[in-house]
Amino acid sequence: MIKRCFVVSMFFCSSLHAMVFDNRFLPLYYKPHTRRCDALSWIRIQPFFMRADRAFSDDRHANIPDIDGSYDQVTLAHALVAVGSENPLRSDFRLKTTLPWSRRGRIDAQGLALYYEQAFCPWLSVGIGTFYGSVNARHDFSLRATELAALSEGDRNYLFQVKEQMHRELGVLPAFYKKTGFGDTDLYVRLGMTFDYTLKCRRLDPAFKVGLIIPTASSTACNNPAAVPLGGQGHWGIYSALEFENECKEDLIVGFNFRAIKRFTRTRQAHLPVAGEPSSYGAVVGPLAVNPGWTFVANPYISFEGLREGFGLKAQYTVVAHLRDLMRDGRVAEEQKKNPVSLDSLQCRSSWAMEHVTIGAFYDFGKVRECPSLYPKLSAYWDIPVNWLVSKRAAKTSSVSLMVEFDF
């Protein structure tokens, strides 16, 4: 027992960084672990690779930057005028009601996730998940086809130059982003029991988890519209989860997990919209108090083991729904009166949902060995974004993961 406590303590101290479950851009989903009756503790190493160049909108597919709202140069010019700046557009363009731009976005991410769960007795375990990764993102601007057809090459160049001038006046950097670092810390306690040969099943494994999310990931700067957070933007959080796994018969396993996550209120600097412009290009910069909405995660899965010695297949469906955030302008009353902002559209776009189908294959070397705890389990998974039920305002991120697991 003393040795186990020492191992857990050293692991916590050296690796207090973890993945984020409530991220609309980087869906690094937890893959359920099938516990062995003779080895309740386990460790998992998981390199992953992600890519996205499209997003789910409310009723259609869209570009990733459109999650933040459509970009219109006339709207942005009106926002600058509303805060006391001059309209940068030429007089003939000021008569237009719209100058829409298309923004194509792309996200690439890769990293290494690490999970560790230590059992202290058959019904009590403590776990931690870790993740260190790198993300690259960019937004490319182009005038929409209807505008291109009506403009000369000189006018196109002029509008592009004015767009860059407007961004500089707003204090916004070019839409290129690169970040390497850790995610938030996820610590949890698992309570559960295994029942063998119960209710006509070979094994029932229900469990309850309660966890704490510590914001160890750095927050993104508000002046980069392409920024993708690795964590929860500095918000502390808690969650609870229900897990149920049923080995219906030999080598056929079905399960279901449900998780509810709540992040706590935090105030951070942000661009605030005043005239309907995208929030990342908001004409006002000030403190914004954000009370994140609840996030709910559900994922049923089925696993076919022992198809040929230790080879097996797994399929999983995951749906994540994040409810609307509550936001409050944190500026002093005089500043709010001088430059009022509109947070309604920002709050509306803060809710999102995403769905993924996961297809995996694995080989458990312990299935064909006398001492299974000495041999690893190798797996490969592909998370495929789908829009079957509720996907909206989230990146269509595909992910490939490789896993090595040890039970002990």
Give the DSSP per-residue string, 38-53. TB--EEEEEEEEEEES
pLDDT at position 61: 73
* Buried/exposed code over 108-136 (b: 16+ C-beta within 10 A; e: otherwise): bbbbebbbbbbbeeeeebbbbbbbbbebb
Would you state the pLDDT for residue 59? 63
**Residues 236-259: tens digit of each pLDDT:** 999 999 999 999 888 899 999 999
In terms of Cα–Cα distance, which of 64, 63, 82 is closest to 74?
82
Closest CA to 271 of 343, 337, 191: 343
Does residue 359 surpass a pLDDT of 60?
yes
Q: Which residues contact 167 (CB under 8 A, 6 or more apart)?
A: 173, 174, 281
pLDDT band at 369 (very low <50, low <70, confident <90, very high): low
pLDDT of residue 191 exceeding 90, the answer is yes
Q: Mean pLDDT lowest for which of 143-147, 196-200, 272-276, 340-344?
A: 143-147
Q: pLDDT higher for 197 or 296?
A: 296
Q: Assign 21 a pLDDT band (cuts: 50, 70, 90).
A: low
On average, the pLDDT of the chain sits at: 89
Reported as a pLDDT band with limits 50, 70 and 90, residue 373 is low
Per-residue pLDDT, 16: 34
At 10 the pLDDT is 36
State the CB neighbour count (10 A cutoff) for residue 186: 25
Q: Which amino acid is it at 256?
A: F
CATH placement of domain 2-407: 2.40.160.40
What is the model's pLDDT at position 351?
A: 96
Q: 304 and 310 in contact (C-beta within 8 Å)?
A: no
Domain layout of the chain by residue ranges? 2-407
Is residue 186 within 8 Å of 202, Cβ to Cβ?
no
What is the residue whose two structure tokens read 């006391």? 84
| Distance between CA atoms of residues 304 and 311, nearest Å | 9
The token pair at 75 is 């709207």
- Residue 130: band (very low, low, confident or very high) from pLDDT cuts 50, 70, 90: confident
Question: What's the rounded Cα separation, in Å, for the pair 163 and 77?
Answer: 9
pLDDT band at 27 (very low <50, low <70, confident <90, very high): confident
56-93: pLDDT as tens digits: 987 667 899 999 989 999 999 999 999 999 999 999 99
Q: Is the pLDDT of residue 335 over 60?
A: yes
Predicted confidence at residue 18, as pLDDT, reads 42
Among 16-25, 126-135, 211-220, 276-285, the range scoring the smallest mean pLDDT is 16-25
State pTM to two decimals.
Answer: 0.90
Q: How do residues 197-213 score in pLDDT, each as one tens digit?
A: 888 888 899 999 999 99
Mean pLDDT of 127-131: 87
**Higher model confidence: residue 15 or residue 227?**
227
Band (pLDDT 50/70/90 cuts) for residue 372 is low
